[in-house]
Structure formats: structure tokens, C-alpha cells
């Protein structure tokens, strides 16, 4: 079968590799039909992450089930499913506690599309083995376009966790999103608007992303050194920069909550701890437990209140995936020929 391989910064190519096969009764084989780039992919392809090739790339995808083991009960052949980025068993103590991204039934950071906990395949391939089908796969509700929810395996639930739980605790609160990463901040801003935030302010250096955020209903500001902001009960760091993180933290009101989804801090990052201490704020960061959140995200998109496709920059055919991944804009969705 064919699989897109990251070889070195700026160099990707399709290669032939052996097809995966079922290795147990609880497994499934799926055929990816739409694949989106994660925000981290652009950093990896540019050589700015400490991850060396070669390895198969692509971990946000919707797929068709093509074969299931004898003990699989939740999906059938032909079903469309969202595949979470993280491999998780579903039965260990951490999975039972709603922490599948910290599953202790598999190596740490075992995932699709990056070789951090072994090599498990990737979305940009003809077949993918899902080792824990019932625990991992989420059927796509009728009426949802796979293109629309292409990022439901990672970036969409990652953004959801920054605003949905805080807004449930503080209905109608004002929200600040400090953008900078390609899509996460935009998803968070759009979700906050659709979830009833009184006001959503979006800060970013990029005029292109500011335009998208405005279309999603946010009030936008250019990020400049002299930018002055009020304090907000809910803030989101999607800046991919230490200075953006500090801006989000310093803009959180007393008793407020700031969530950082930026995985791009590969070195030591200083924090304004005195300011955080005196405001008594809560700071959250960590892996996104996507599998636990995907059903809620799909229900919200199906409600028609939030349109993630507005963040998509380009939809390209399967054959153009290698070139698209080397020149990533905000969000690229790759569609397998004839799949939709």
C-alpha cells in the first residue's frame, strides 16, 4: 500500500509499505477518506520540532471501516468513523478516569502520525490498524460531512476543552483567545461564540487569521507590543509563543481560568508566577483527551451552531497531499479520490 512519509524537513514522499493486518479480535482496519493537518504538523515539517524522520505523517482523519475482529461490537464494515490521534486501550485505570491520552496500556505518546510512542501508521495511508476498535472509534453521525469534521480526532476537541467546560461553569462569560497557531485559536474562538460567550476577543499577528476569526463572530485585535487588554474570566493560549502565553496569563481575571493548547514550547518557558499568584487564577495545560470529547464536539457541529469548515484553507485531492503538507496554510483537508 501507499503511505506518505516525512523524510526530513521540507521533504515528504509517498512510499510503498506492507499493508497492516488484524492482530487480535478487538481490532479494526480502516481506510482514511479525509485527512487534516494538525497544527503541530507544520512545525514538524518545517524542522522546528525535535522529531527526526523518517516516519509516516498525518493523525487527524475520518475513515471507513473495512474489516473488524470477531469481538468488535460498536462499528461495522462500511461505517464512517472518527479516529482519535492517541492510541488508548479503554480499560486501564487512566482510560476509565477519562484520561485516554495518558493510557498506561500502551507506551507513552503512542499515536498516529508521529513516532513518539512507537510507529502506529498514519492517516495519509491506504489502511490503518486500530488496535482497540471499541474503545477508540467514534461513528460519524448521519448528516455530517467528513470534510467538515476532518479535525475531530485532535484539533477540534483540543479547542473544545479550552472554552466549553469553563463556559458551562460561567455561562455568558467573556473570552479572550490569543492566537498564533494555525487553527486551534480559531476553533476556540468560534466555539466560544457558538456556546454563548458574551464577547469573544481574538488577538493575532496574522491578518488572515484575524479575518477568519471575525467571520466566526469574534472581535479581533492585532497583536502588537503595546496592546492593552482588560481581564477576562476565560482565556486561551493558542499563540505558540512564550510572549503570547504571558499575554493570556496576565489577561486572566482573579479567579479566572487560562488554558494553553500550545505544544510548541520545546524549551524552558518562564511564567509570570507572581501575577498568577495574586489573581488566584487557574492555569491548565496538557495532552488533549480527544476520545472523551469527540462525541460532544460532533453533537455541537451537528447542531449547526459552529462551522469548523470556515477555518479550512484548502481542500485538495489525495494525490496532492505531499505537496500540500510541505506548504501548509491554516488548515488543509485532503480527500481520497471518489471517497465522498
Q: Residue 75 in contact with residue 82, Cβ under 8 Å?
A: no
Give the domain CATH number at 258: 3.40.50.720
Give the domain CATH number at 93: 3.90.180.10
246, 264, 284: which is the final residue of a domain?
284
pLDDT tens figures, 64-86: 999 999 999 999 999 999 999 99
198 shares a domain with 140: no
Q: How many domains does the chain have?
A: 2
pLDDT tens figures, 5-45: 999 998 999 999 999 999 999 999 999 999 999 999 988 99
The span from the CA of 91 to the CA of 96, in Å, is: 6
127 shares a domain with 9: yes
Residue in this structure with the C-alpha cell 500540500, named with its chain if needed:
324
12 shares a domain with 68: yes
143 shares a domain with 66: yes
What pLDDT shows up at residue 340?
65
Domain presence at residue 57: yes
C-alpha cell at 137: 472509534
In degrees, rounded to 5, the angle at the alpha carbon of residue 232 between the alpha carbons of residues 230 and 235 is: 120
The span from the CA of 169 to the CA of 126, in Å, is: 43
268, 284, 300: which is the final residue of a domain?
284
Q: Residue 32 in contact with residue 56, Cβ under 8 Å?
A: no
The pTM for the full model equals 0.96
Q: Say yes or no to pLDDT of 214 above 70.
A: yes
Q: Residue 111 in contact with residue 87, Cβ under 8 Å?
A: yes
116 shares a domain with 95: yes
295 shares a domain with 280: no
Max CA distance (Å), the chain: 62
If one counts every other C-beta atom within 10 angstroms of the C-beta of residue 305, the result is 13
227 shares a domain with 109: no
163 shares a domain with 140: no
Domain holding 168, by residue range, is: 155-284
The span from the CA of 333 to the CA of 340, in Å, is: 13
Classify 221 as helix, strand or coil: strand
In degrees, rounded to 5, the angle at the alpha carbon of residue 196 between the alpha carbons of residues 192 and 202 is: 35
239 shares a domain with 249: yes
Average pLDDT for 317-339: 89
6 shares a domain with 149: yes
> For residue 300, how far is the Cα from the chain centroid?
16
163 shares a domain with 145: no
What pLDDT shows up at residue 186?
98
Domain presence at residue 202: yes
Domain presence at residue 256: yes
The span from the CA of 221 to the CA of 211, in Å, is: 10
Domain presence at residue 80: yes
Domain presence at residue 24: yes
Domain presence at residue 177: yes
Domain presence at residue 340: no
The span from the CA of 62 to the CA of 275, in Å, is: 42
The span from the CA of 340 to the CA of 331, in Å, is: 19
269 shares a domain with 208: yes
Average pLDDT for 268-293: 95
263, 284, 305: which is the final residue of a domain?
284
Amino acid at each position: 500500500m501507499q503511505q506518505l512519509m516525512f523524510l526530513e524537513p521540507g521533504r515528504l514522499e509517498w512510499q510503498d509499505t506492507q499493508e497492516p493486518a488484524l492482530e487480535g479480535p478487538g481490532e479494526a482496519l480502516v481506510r482514511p477518506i479525509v485527512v487534516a493537518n494538525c497544527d503541530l504538523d507544520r512545525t514538524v515539517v518545517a524542522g522546528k520540532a525535535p522529531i527526526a524522520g523518517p516516519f509516516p505523517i498525518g493523525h487527524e482523519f475520518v475513515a471507513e471501516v473495512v474489516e473488524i475482529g470477531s469481538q468488535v461490537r460498536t462499528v461495522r464494515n462500511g461505517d464512517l468513523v472518527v479516529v482519535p490521534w492517541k492510541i488508548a486501550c479503554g480499560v486501564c485505570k487512566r482510560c476509565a478516569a477519562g484520561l485516554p491520552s495518558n493510557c498506561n496500556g500502551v507506551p507513552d505518546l503512542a499515536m498516529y502520525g508521529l513516532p513518539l510512542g512507537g510507529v502506529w501508521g498514519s492517516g495519509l495511508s491506504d489502511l490503518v490498524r486500530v488496535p482497540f476498535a471499541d474503545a477508540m472509534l467514534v461513528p460519524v453521525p448521519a448528516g455530517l460531512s467528513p470534510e467538515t469534521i476532518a479535525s475531530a480526532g485532535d484539533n477540534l476537541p483540543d479547542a473544545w476543552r479550552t472554552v466549553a467546560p469553563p463556559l458551562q461553569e460561567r455561562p455568558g462569560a467573556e473570552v479572550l483567545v490569543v492566537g498564533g497557531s494555525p487553527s486551534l485559536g480559531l476553533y476556540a474562538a468560534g466555539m466560544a461564540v457558538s456556546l454563548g460567550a458574551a464577547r469573544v476577543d481574538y488577538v493575532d499577528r496574522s491578518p488572515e487569521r484575524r479575518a477568519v476569526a471575525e467571520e466566526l463572530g469574534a472581535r479581533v485585535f492585532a497583536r502588537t507590543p503595546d496592546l492593552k487588554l482588560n481581564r477576562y474570566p476565560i482565556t486561551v493560549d493558542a499563540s505558540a509563543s512564550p510572549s503570547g502565553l504571558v499575554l493570556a496569563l496576565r489577561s486572566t481575571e482573579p479567579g479566572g481560568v487560562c488554558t494553553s493548547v500550545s505544544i510548541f514550547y520545546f524549551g524552558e518557558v518562564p511564567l509570570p508566577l507572581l501575577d498568577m499568584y495574586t489573581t488566584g487564577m487557574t492555569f491548565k495545560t496538557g495532552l488533549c483527551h480527544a476520545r472523551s470529547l469527540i462525541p460532544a464536539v460532533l453533537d455541537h457541529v451537528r447542531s449547526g451552531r459552529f462551522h469548523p469548515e470556515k477555518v479550512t484553507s484548502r481542500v485538495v485531492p489525495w494525490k496532492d497531499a505531499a505537496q500540500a503538507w510541505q506548504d501548509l496554510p491554516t488548515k488543509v483537508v485532503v480527500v481520497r479520490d471518489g471517497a465522498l
